[in-house]
Structures are given as structure tokens and as C-alpha cells.
Amino acid sequence: MSIRTERIASVIKDDLGGILLKYQSNNIITITSVKVTPDLSMAKVFISILDSSGYEKAAFQKLVEKTAEIRMELASKMRHQVRKIPEIIFYDDDTAEYAEKMEKLFRKVKDEKPPASDTNESGD
């Protein structure tokens, strides 16, 4: 990414963070990363949602449904920084879930592994 696309991605991440606060209800919405296309026409926004009641998918779907409204709010915040506000595409970032799953697998393998025998003993 160029410096300009990185800068725009950073501005989008900061501004969207404030906008998404009002969409939090019994959940935590975190923007994990923003990737902007070189022509600044699209912004891929990776979202991680933690919900105590287990409705992460429903909360994500609500954000997807409100994308146009969220983009309009973003436009009002960014209007002096870019000519055209990028289209926003939300992606469900399941990196944390994947890392937790892998960690559980590693613990399971470690627990199942028999203890190493002492091979330094010699029978001389």
C-alpha cells in the first residue's frame, strides 16, 4: 500500500471506530484492520465482534444492513479529507477464534504427548 492509502485507511479506522460505538449493545465491536484499494474506491473493513450472549453473527449482519447509513456518517466526518468516500465492505474477522482453536489443539497435543524418557543413561 502507498502512504496515501495507508493514511486514508487509518483515518477510516479511527472515524469508523467512533461511529460503531453506537452500534454496540451487549457486545464489543473492534475494527481489526482496514484495507483501501489503490484507487481509494473501496475500503475493506475487518470487524471482530465479541458478544456475551453469543449473537456475534446477528450483530455483524446488523452492521452489514446499516452499511449505507454508516458510510453517510463517515462521509460527514471525512468530507474535507477525500473527494469521494470509499464504498465500505465489512468482513467478519475470525482471527481471534482461529487462534483460540489452534491454541486448544496445541494444548491437546501437548497433553497427549507421553513424557520424554531419559536417553542419557548408559548401561556401562
pLDDT tens digits, one per residue of 37-70: 999 899 999 998 887 777 888 888 989 999 999 9
Any domain includes 117: no
Any domain includes 124: no
Any domain includes 122: no
Sign of the torsion angle spanned by Cα atoms 8, 14, 17, 18: negative
72-116 pLDDT, tens digit per residue, is: 999 998 888 888 889 999 998 877 777 788 888 888 888 887 766
Print the domain residue range for 31: 3-112
Q: Does position 123 have pLDDT exceeding 60, yes or no? A: no
Cell of 21: 460505538
Of residues 81 and 34, the one with the higher pLDDT is 34
Distance CA 86, CA 39 (A): 9
> What's the pLDDT score for residue 78?
86
Distance CA 34, CA 36 (A): 7
> What's the pLDDT score for residue 57?
86
Structural domain count of the chain = 1
Distance CA 85, CA 81 (A): 9
Any domain includes 41: yes
Any domain includes 98: yes
Any domain includes 118: no
Identify which of 50, 30, 40, 54 has the alpha carbon closest to the alpha carbon of residue 9. Answer: 40
Return the CATH number at 55.
3.30.300.20
> What's the pLDDT score for residue 16?
93
